[in-house]
């Protein structure tokens, strides 16, 4: 079933019920729309685009911060038969220009936060004919039309464009943590599969309420919300990540499901530990599920979480934009005893661990994780070489190194590109990062490899110490004595661990910062 048909069904069955709530703690603002209003806005925007000449197969660039207009605009694009092209809100003007050129976008809808970036490159956006701004008329550039004006003018009737389930639906650009962003082509079938997989994994019912904090341009947050969409369950879009804002939203909106990134879960536990938030001030008994994805999860974090929230179900979700987001592997709420593993194949998915010749490896051996299922992308748009090296007989090579234990659970070892080879030994940074995270003074840690004349590469650690705590290099040295000698970081740096909006450590940035530095402590 098309996403637009699911939305239309929700509007018929639950029209007067609240579908989306936006909470903006900075502006002290709360907004909401019903399923009927959501559906009407999507139709109005679709009809406006069609009136502007947007046809099936055209591309519409979608550049917005999380807000209540985000999803109606996205669904409106899909209802025209055009491809939605959501862009990372952190992209620079030049990155926006690059993505728009690759996509050959015909229209651009953007939020007020991006006016300066769009102004900078407008003269170079050769294929963009129409600009639509979500924001006040007072700051709207003369080349853009107002989104609200469109909604007032155009029809709320579904345009009923003929769209097949196998038709292309959108381009999702990779986060760029390993190089230049690549455009991933997804179909309507891929999006439908994400709805089904998410709902099967987390058992959403019409009475659930999903708290959406991560950016909607990314497949993770939106595809988790799809599990609510398919049963007409509401969602809260929270514009802010402070622990007290998260807990207030859960309490006041009666949220039942929360998807967190590792840093946010760490911040909540730290705020509780330091007394910055008092759990007794919030109503949290309805909160049934906390799940984490987008990055490796330190087992120590979940052990700490379960001590504070023992009644919570927990799940780890693994996926890629190339698999239409999370779900190709998941731990499963019934498998809390396997915390640390990313889990088992998701609903309707298959997994294999393979060697360099794409031959399956025995259980226990480390190789590349390969997955097959209904969410596998159609390919990298305009990049047959990258597509050919990633897709193999219906399987997708993830680029992640993993192993499968005797019970069939998959353990993520590390990104293939992040493996450190020191003196001929393979070192997997995630293993060391998980080890460091167990130290009660460490808030976050990253491990990277830097060049070394004798060993080829050596591991170095960047450590962020918890607020109010102090830590010395000698303490780190002593703590790391528990590791085999070759796995111990050879240098230690204290500083921030940069992460992208989906929580992944930005290791290229760290290599750029620390790759040539020598003034750190050398572990013996």
**What are the extents of the domains in the chain?**
3-195, 419-522
**pLDDT at position 510:** 85
pLDDT at res. 413? 78
* Average of per-residue pLDDT across 329-345: 92
Report the pLDDT value the prediction gives residue 179, as an integer from 0 to 100: 52
- Percentage of the chain beyond pLDDT 70 is 94
Higher pLDDT, 524 or 88: 88
The CA distance from 345 to 347, in Å, is 7
More confident residue, 474 or 418: 474
Distant-in-sequence, close-in-space partners of 207: CB < 8 Å, separation ≥ 6? 233, 256
DSSP string, 51-113: HTT--TT-EEEEE--S-TTHHHHHHHHHHTTPEEEE--TT--HHHHHHHHHHHT-SEEEEEGG
Record: fold of 419-522? GMP Synthetase; Chain A, domain 3 (3.30.300)
Strand spans (E) along 386-439? 391-392, 395-404, 410-415, 420-422, 425-427
> For residues 370 and 391, what is the distance between their CA atoms, to the nearest angstrom?
9
Q: State pTM to two decimals.
A: 0.83
SS3 breakdown of the chain: % helix, strand, coil, rounded to 5? Answer: 35, 30, 35
Q: Is residue 419 over pLDDT 80?
A: no
H-assigned helices in 456-498: 473-479
The DSSP line for 219-232 is HHHHHHHHHHHTTT
Asked if the model's pLDDT at residue 154 lies above 90, the reply is yes
pLDDT of residue 520: 45
Task: Say what the pLDDT of residue 204 is.
Answer: 96
φ and ψ at 107, to 5 degrees?
A: -140, 155
Instruction: Give the span between the Cα atoms of 147 and 160, in whole angstroms.
Output: 21
User: For residue 448, what pLDDT band results from cuts at 50, 70 and 90?
Assistant: confident
- Quick: pLDDT tens for 105-141: 999 999 999 999 999 999 999 999 999 999 999 999 9
Residue 519's pLDDT band, with cuts at 50, 70 and 90, is very low
* Per-residue pLDDT at 416 exceeds 70: no
φ/ψ (deg, to 5) at 401:
-90, 135
> For residue 476, is pLDDT > 80?
yes
Residue range 2-58, pLDDT digits in tens: 999 999 999 999 999 999 999 999 999 999 999 999 999 999 999 999 999 999 999
C-beta atoms surrounding 242 within 10 Å: 17
What pLDDT shows up at residue 506? 82
Q: How many CB atoms lie within 10 A of CB 485?
A: 9
In this prediction, residues 320-338 reach a mean pLDDT of 92
Instruction: Tell me the pLDDT of the chain averaged across its residues.
Output: 91
pLDDT at 440: 87
Does 3-195 match 419-522 in CATH topology?
no
pLDDT at 404 over 90: yes
Instruction: State mean pLDDT over 369-376.
Output: 96
Per-residue pLDDT for 428 more than 90?
no
Domain 3-195: assigned CATH number: 3.40.50.12780
Look up residue 408 and give its DSSP letter: S
Mean pLDDT over 227-243 rounds to 96
Mean pLDDT of 186-190: 97
Mean pLDDT of 269-280: 93
User: Is the predicted pLDDT of residue 325 greater than 90, yes or no?
Assistant: no
Model confidence at 177, in pLDDT bands (50, 70, 90)? Answer: very low
- What tens digit of pLDDT does each residue of 159-168 get? 999 999 999 9
Average pLDDT over residues 395-408: 92
Instruction: Indicate the pLDDT class of residue 176, thresholds 50, 70 and 90.
Output: low
| pLDDT tens-digit readout, 54-107 | 999 999 999 999 999 999 999 999 999 999 999 988 888 998 999 999 999 999
Say whether pLDDT at 223 is over 50: yes
Confidence class for position 234, pLDDT limits 50, 70, 90:
very high
pLDDT reading at 208 higher than 90: yes
Closest by CA to 226, choosing from 324, 334, 81, 323, is 324
pLDDT-based confidence at residue 524 (cuts at 50, 70, 90): very low
Spell out the residues 6+ positions from residue 484 whose beta carbon is closer than 8 angstroms to its own.
none
């Amino acid at each position: 079933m098309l996403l637009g048909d699911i939305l239309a069904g929700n509007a018929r069955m639950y029209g007067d019920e609240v579908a989306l709530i936006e909470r903006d703690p900075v502006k002290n603002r709360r907004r909401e729309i019903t399923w009927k209003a959501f559906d009407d806005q999507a139709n109005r925007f679709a009809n406006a685009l069609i009136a502007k000449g947007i046809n099936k197969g055209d591309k519409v660039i979608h550049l917005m911060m999380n807000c209540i207009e985000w999803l109606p605009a996205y669904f409106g694009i899909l209802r025209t038969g055009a491809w939605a092209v959501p862009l990372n809100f952190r992209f620079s003007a030049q990155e926006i220009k690059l993505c728009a050129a690759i996509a050959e976008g015909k229209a651009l809808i953007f939020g007020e936060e991006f006016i300066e970036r769009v102004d900078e490159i407008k003269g170079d956006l050769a294929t963009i004919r129409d600009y639509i701004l979500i924001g006040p008329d007072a700051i709207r550039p003369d080349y853009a039309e107002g989104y609200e004006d469109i909604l007032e003018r155009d029809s709320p009737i579904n345009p009923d464009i003929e769209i097949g389930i196998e038709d292309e639906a959108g381009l999702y650009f990779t986060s760029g943590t390993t190089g230049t962003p690549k455009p991933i082509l997804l179909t309507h079938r891929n999006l439908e599969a994400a709805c089904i997989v998410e709902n099967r994994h987390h058992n959403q019912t019409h009475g659930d309420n999903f708290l959406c904090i991560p950016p909607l341009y990314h497949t993770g947050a939106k595809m988790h919300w799809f599990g609510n969409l398919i049963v007409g369950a509401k969602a809260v879009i929270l514009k802010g990540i402070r622990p007290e804002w998260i807990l207030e939203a859960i309490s006041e909106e009666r949220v039942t499901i929360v998807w967190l990134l590792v840093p946010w879960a760490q911040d909540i536990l730290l705020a509780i530990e330091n007394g910055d938030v008092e759990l007794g001030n919030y109503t949290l008994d309805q909160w049934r599920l906390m799940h984490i994805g987008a990055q490796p999860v330190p087992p120590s974090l979940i052990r700490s979480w379960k001590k504070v929230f023992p009644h919570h179900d927990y799940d780890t979700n693994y996926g890629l934009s190339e698999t239409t987001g999370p779900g190709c592997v998941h731990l499963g709420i019934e498998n809390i005893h396997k915390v640390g593993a990313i889990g088992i194949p998701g609903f309707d998915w298959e997994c294999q661990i393979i060697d360099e010749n794409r031959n399956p490896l025995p259980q226990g051996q480390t190789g590349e994780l390969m997955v097959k299922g209904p969410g596998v992308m159609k390919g990298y748009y305009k990049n047959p070489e990258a597509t050919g090296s990633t897709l193999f007989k219906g399987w997708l090579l993830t680029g992640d190194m993993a192993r499968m234990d005797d019970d069939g659970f998959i353990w993520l070892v590390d990104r293939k590109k992040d493996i450190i080879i020191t003196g001929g030994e393979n070192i997997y940074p995630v293993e060391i990062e998980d080890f460091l995270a167990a130290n009660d003074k460490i808030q976050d840690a990253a491990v990277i490899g830097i060049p070394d004349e004798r060993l080829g590469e050596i591991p170095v650690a960047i450590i962020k110490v918890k607020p109010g705590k102090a830590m010395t290099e000698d303490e780190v040295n002593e703590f790391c004595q528990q590791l085999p000698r070759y796995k111990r970081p050879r240098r230690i740096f204290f500083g921030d661990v940069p992460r992208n909006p989906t929580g992944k450590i930005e290791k290229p940035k760290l290599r750029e910062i620390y790759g040539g530095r020598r003034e750190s402590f050398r572990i013996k």
